[in-house]
Amino acid sequence: MLVLGIESSCDETGVALISSETGLIADALHTQIDMHRAYGGVVPELASRDHIRRAVALVDDVMAKAGRSRSELDAVAVTEGPGLAGALLVGNAVAHAIGWALEIPVLGVHHLEGHLLAAKLSDPAPEFPFLALLVSGGHTQILKVERFGSYKLLGETLDDAAGEAFDKTAQLLGLPYPGGPHVSALAEKGASGAIELARPMIHSPNLMMSFSGLKTSVLTAVQSAENPEDETWRANLARGFVDAVTDVLAAKLIRAMKETKLERVVVAGGVSANKQLRARLTDAVRRRRGEIFFPPMRLCTDNGAMIAAAGLARLESMSEAEREALKRESAFRVRPRWPLETL
Ligand code: ATP
Ligand code: MG
Ligand code: FE
């Protein structure tokens, strides 16, 4: 089976082609980061318009790279939600146009399911069941994944997502948007322990987390600094921030491993591209003789490949009758808010 995946939930237009026989065949991505940078964040209306400009061209690009024609497609997978309504509408309009024209099913994919299944594109790939830590720009969740399509929320942040904390810290340090990679690079040059920041809820007897207090302690540190321009001081602050985030995430992940007795862990979402976090979690999980998996580096942030992978996994989990029914039931719908547990 050949599935085309389309992602347009936020500020990345992503398209990819995946095969049930040979895996990921081709993919293409256009990121709008430069366009939104001047505003310090994503401007929804600009995002929608840019998806319109890019989506069809990226589909053509992927089909050409793969050397395959559209008539060979068995299904189109598209991010149905959650995300920006206008941005989601663009990807869905393109996906359904292709679906109608070719009389093939259109599968609405949950964006976070896509992030989790991006780990399946790694080699070796994780088997079900696993424990998942999803750390992205809008979410920080710990989930129990029994099998494809079954996501049980065990804990999450009560306020800011980890990625949001990275982005806000970057802003306070005068670094460009999105801040994650910049804060990470600056932290590399800093010394651990030079500046200690709060680790909210690290000892709470549950899997809940909080990152907004950490942002406040970064703000306080910047305001009370003798010389906030000093490079060594800035690097130490970035290091203190990264250490605090990674400590909290590691503590909660280990607690979840103990509580669920699951030894296999998947870490996904944009922040899972973070070098320090990968090293810290890998060490913590291996100490417990667990196995840890991440998506390939370039598939941690939003992309079409993860949506294609989730769509293919859904098709493969269906019976022949269910697949036939799907051809008649591909309803056009976007879900800007859509809890993963309701899948
Ligand atoms: P969501 O998936 O929750 O809807 P999103 O799609 O905006 O949100 P992602 O694309 O998964 O989020 O990830 C973007 C986030 O990842 C940003 O907050 C960004 O700063 C962060 N990020 C990306 N690379 C890194 C990195 N190397 N270190 C830390 N954070 C990073
Ligand atoms: Mg993005
Ligand atoms: Fe995302």
| CA torsion angle 15 19 24 29 (round to 10) | 0
pLDDT digits (tens, 9 = 90+) for 85-95: 999 999 999 99
Note the pLDDT of residue 236. 98
Ligand 1 interacting residues, C-beta cut-off 6 A: 10, 111, 115, 136-139, 163, 166-167, 178-181, 184, 269-271, 273-274, 301-302
- Contact by Cβ (8 Å): 197, 189: no
Distance of CA 255 from the midpoint of ligand 1 (Å): 24
User: How far apart are the C-alpha atoms of 100 and 7, rounded to whole Å?
Assistant: 18
- Contact by Cβ (8 Å): 133, 154: no
- Contact by Cβ (8 Å): 74, 104: yes
Which atom of ligand 1 is the closest one to the Cα of 301? 10
Note the pLDDT of residue 40. 84
Residue of 141, 166, 242, 338 best suited for mutating to test ligand 1, as the one with most atoms within 8 Å of CB = 166
Report the helix count and the strand count for the chain, using DSSP H and E: 11, 10
Q: Return the residue whose CA atom lies nearest to atom 3 of ligand 1.
A: 138
Domain 128-294 is of which CATH architecture? 2-Layer Sandwich (3.30)
Q: Return the residue whose CA atom lies nearest to atom 9 of ligand 1.
A: 270
Note the pLDDT of residue 209. 98
Note the pLDDT of residue 340. 95
> 36 labelled as ligand-binding?
no
Note the pLDDT of residue 139. 98
Distance of CA 32 from the midpoint of ligand 3 (Å): 14
Q: Read off the pTM.
A: 0.97
Note the pLDDT of residue 313. 97
> 303 labelled as ligand-binding?
no
Q: How many CA atoms lie within 13 A of 185 on its CB side?
A: 9
Q: Which residues of the chain have pLDDT under 70?
A: none
Note the pLDDT of residue 263. 98
> 159 labelled as ligand-binding?
no
Domain 2-117+300-342 is of which CATH architecture? 2-Layer Sandwich (3.30)
Note the pLDDT of residue 21. 97
> 274 labelled as ligand-binding?
yes
Note the pLDDT of residue 326. 85
Which residues of the chain does CATH 3.30.420.40 include?
2-117+300-342, 128-294
Which contacts of 170-177 are long-range, i.e. CB under 8 A and separated by 24 or more positions?
171/40, 172/215, 172/218, 172/219, 172/222, 173/218, 173/222, 173/234, 173/237, 173/238, 176/37, 177/33, 177/36, 177/37, 177/40, 177/41
